[in-house]
Amino acid sequence: MTTYSVDEFLSRTKQQITSTDSFALQSERILEVNLDGEIWSKMGSMISYQGTIRFERERILEHGLGRAFKKSFTSEGQELMKATGNGRLFLADQGKRITILELGNQQITVNGNDLLAFEPTVEWDIEMMRKMAGLMSGGLFNVTLNGRGKVAITTYFEPLTLEVTPDQPVHTDPTATVAWSGDLKPEFHTDISYRTFLGKGSGESIQMKFTGSGFVIVQPGFEVE
């Protein structure tokens, strides 16, 4: 056990001077948002703020009737929070590691549980994965993001990015799958056998298969269904 004096502790844990970028990392697990306007974030992710910031729950028709229907169709739709004002906003999600991505007019699809925040310039929509209905309780909904702007995603520990090529598909466990590039469309496979019921069987019975050209981001921890 390490013991610090008060001054040593303050020195080691005090707020760092970061850049003026809209999104920056105070640490691997804390996102700092230099807010001047508004951003969208995962409900319940605010841990602190400085300045004048107002928080609003996403209204039912905030993003159109189509998305409202998708969210009401199942409880899996991720609820969002809008932060408006000026100041520094600090976000986190259960101590998960945070990665900031600049989309640059590219498209990615992110597991709803792993989406922490995104700038208002980013276009997004909820993707319903109907083939998963009845197979597992989670993972039915993902969020597709595209356009320009920053997106913050979270992972349990360090993420791993796997390249998908036409001659080298990638198979993943749905609960370990964080995100994938926009050109990929996963297929779902089941392998119900005697072996499925041995051990934990977290990903043996249901797998995601990615074919084509692109990338898949996975994490070494698992989302709890």
Q: Is the pLDDT at 217 greater than 90, yes or no?
A: yes
Q: Is the pLDDT at 194 greater than 50, yes or no?
A: no
- 161: CATH: 3.60.160.10
Of 125, 93, 89, 120, the residue nearest 109 (C-alpha) = 125
Q: Which domain holds residue 213?
A: 20-218
Does residue 10 sit within a domain? no
Residue pLDDT, tens place only, 133-168: 444 544 457 889 999 999 999 999 999 999 999 999
Q: Is the pLDDT at 58 greater than 70, yes or no?
A: no
pLDDT bucket at 128, cuts 50 / 70 / 90: low
Which of 19-33, 91-105, 124-138 has the highest average model confidence (pLDDT)?
Answer: 91-105
pLDDT bucket at 3, cuts 50 / 70 / 90: confident
Placement of tokens 């101590």 in the chain: 95
Does residue 182 sit within a domain? yes
16: region left, alpha or beta (phi > 0 left; psi from -120 to 50 alpha)? beta
End-to-end CA distance of the chain: 34
* Gap between the Cα atoms of 167 and 70, Å rounded: 35
Return the higher-pLDDT residue of 22 and 58.
22
Whether 92 and 58 have beta carbons less than 8 Å apart is answered as no
Does residue 13 sit within a domain? no
Does residue 3 sit within a domain? no
Both structure tokens of 15:
């707020």
Average pLDDT for 53-73: 58
Q: Is the pLDDT at 189 greater than 70, yes or no?
A: yes
Does residue 12 sit within a domain? no
Structurally, the chain folds into a number of domains equal to 1
Does residue 117 sit within a domain? yes
